[in-house]
Amino acid sequence: MKKGDKNTNRSKDEALAHLLQDNGLKITQGRISILEVFSKYHKPLNAEGVSKYLKGNKVDEATIYRTLKSFEEKGILRRVDLRNDSVYFEMNEGHHHHHHLVCKQCGDIEDVDVCEIDRLSKMALMNSSKFKLILDHSLEFFGVCKACNKG
Amino acid sequence: MKKGDKNTNRSKDEALAHLLQDNGLKITQGRISILEVFSKYHKPLNAEGVSKYLKGNKVDEATIYRTLKSFEEKGILRRVDLRNDSVYFEMNEGHHHHHHLVCKQCGDIEDVDVCEIDRLSKMALMNSSKFKLILDHSLEFFGVCKACNKG
DNA sequence: GATCAGATGCAACTCATTTGCATCTTTTAA
DNA sequence: TTAAAAGATGCAAATGAGTTGCATCTGATC
C-alpha cells in the first residue's frame, strides 16, 4: 500500500458517509462497504456481484438488496438495463451520460453531455402525444467484443 | 363485427402461420393466439400480460414462457428493457424500428420513432476500445405522462 | 393413415428477491 | 453523556417469475 493511502481511504469513506448523511440514511459499516465496492469497481453490479466484492466485509444478502433499493430511491445508484436476468446498478454520478473535453494546453476539463441524448429526448417528446416530461432514459449497446470476435 | 372482418382475420392468421413456418416452428393454435395478442395490442407484454389478453384461448403458463423464448430466439419477438421486474417482449417488425416512452407512475407505454441511432452506434464504437461490432441497442425514455402529470 | 419430432399441460422445482421479526446500532434530544 | 426513538441488520421463511421433467397430445412428413 502506498504512502498516503490510509488518509485517502479515510477521506474517501468520509465522502461516502456524507453521501449517506445527505440522503437521510444512517451511516453504517455495511453501507459504506457497499458504496466502496461501487466506487472501486466502476461497473454495473447486481446483488451477487456486490456480495462477491465485499469479501471480508460480509453483509447479509437481504441487507444488500434492501440497501441497493434504498440507494436507488435516493438516487445514489441508478439502475442499468443490460438485458440480464437480475437487476444491475451503478453509481449515479450526476449527469448520466457524459464525456469530457480536455484542453491540451492548460489541461482544463469540460464535461459534455453525450451524444445528443438531450436532443433525442426532445425529439421523442415532440413525437409523443402522451408525454411532455422525460426524466430519464437508458441507452445501451449490445455487440461482440474484440476478444470474442476473434473466433 | 364489420363486413369482411372474417376474411381479414383469416388472412391475418395465415400470415402469422407463415411466420411460424418460415421460422421452422410448428403451427399450433396456442402460438397463433399468442402472436395475435402481440399483433393486436401493439405494446410490450410480459408472460402475464399475454396470458391476460389470451382470454378464451388459454395457454398454459409454462407454454407461454417457452413460446416467448423460442419466438425471441427466432427473432419473431424482441426483448424490451423497461426497468420492469419481469421480461417484456414486442413484435420485432424489422422495418419499424422504434423505442419507448415509459411513464414512471402508471407504466403506460408509447412508441417513439427516434432515428440517428446508427450514428450514435458509430460514435459509441469510435469511443470503444473493446468493441468493433454492435448488433443491437436499447433506448428507452422514462418520464411522466400527461395524464399522471395532472396531479 | 402411420410415424415421429416437436409441442403442451401439469406439477414440482429453482433461484433471485422480499418480508416478518427479534435484535442491534445509529441518531436524537434531554 | 446517556436513554429513548428511529432505523438497520441478520436470519429464516416466504414469494413469485421463470424453468424443467415427464407423460400425453398434435402437427408435419412420408
Lowest mean pLDDT across A47-61, A68-82, B34-48, B113-127: B113-127
**Residue A5: CB less than 7 A from any atom in strand C:** no
Q: What is the pLDDT of residue A134?
A: 84
**Nucleotide whose C1' lies closest to the alpha carbon of residue B66:** D19
In angstroms, what CA-CA distances link B47 with A56, A76, B66, B111, B137? 40, 32, 10, 20, 22
Topology classification of domain B97-151: Dna Ligase; domain 1 (3.30.1490)
Q: Residue B67: which residues within 8 A CB-CB, separation 6 or more?
A: B30, B31, B34, B59
Q: For residues B90 and A123, which has the higher predicted lDDT (pLDDT)?
A: B90
Q: Does domain A5-91 have CATH number 1.10.10.10?
A: yes
Residue A81 contacts B, CB cutoff 8 Å? yes
Residue with cell 382475420: B9
Return the CATH number of B1-95, one of 3.20.20.110, 1.10.10.10, 3.40.50.300, 1.20.120.80: 1.10.10.10
Q: How confident is the model at residue B91 (pLDDT cuts 50, 70, 90)?
A: very high
* Ranges in chain A, pLDDT < 50: 1-6, 98-113
Alpha-carbon span B134 to A144, nearest angstrom: 7
**Residue A24: CB less than 7 A from any atom in strand C:** no
Residue A94 contacts B, CB cutoff 8 Å? no
Alpha-carbon span A16 to A114, nearest angstrom: 27
Looking only at the bridges linking them, the beta strands covering B99-103 and B131-145 are parallel
Q: Which three cell numbers stand for residue B77?
A: 419477438
For CATH 1.10.10.10, list the domain ranges present in chain B. Answer: 1-95
Q: What is the pLDDT of residue B81?
A: 83
For CATH 3.30.1490, list the domain ranges present in chain A. Answer: 98-149
Topology classification of domain A98-149: Dna Ligase; domain 1 (3.30.1490)
For CATH 1.10.10.10, list the domain ranges present in chain A. Answer: 5-91
Q: What is the pLDDT of residue B128?
A: 65
Residue with cell 421460422: B23
